[in-house]
Amino acid sequence: MPIVTVQVTREGTTPGRNSVSAEEKAAIIKGVSEVLLNVLHKPLESTYVVIEEVDLDNWGWGGLPTAQYRTLRAAAAKS
């Protein structure tokens, strides 16, 4: 009877896309449901998966909004 909640930033995996695609969501749902089936023998039909897409402004990391933190890290990696 598991519930799996997946929180990710709302952005694309390729240029020109700015959200997770329906195919990617389906793959996440399939993948995590199968993990629960394989590890704990939970039947697929008893697992709920909820995907929450979070705007970049609303996700903080390193004390900063994510976009700023990534810029900072990229700069640090170059120096």
Among candidates 76, 77, 54, which has minimal Cα distance to 66?
Answer: 54
Q: Taking the CB of residue 47, how many other CB atoms lie within 10 A of it? A: 19
Interaction of residue 59 with its own copies, rule CB under 8 A: yes
Looking up tokens 């640090």 gives 76
Interaction of residue 6 with its own copies, rule CB under 8 A: yes
Interaction of residue 10 with its own copies, rule CB under 8 A: no
Q: Which of 3, 17, 75, 77 binds its own copies (CB under 8 A)?
A: 3
CA distance 64 to 69: 6
Interface positions with its own copies (CB under 8 A)? 1-9, 13, 20, 22, 24-42, 44-45, 47-54, 57-66, 68-69
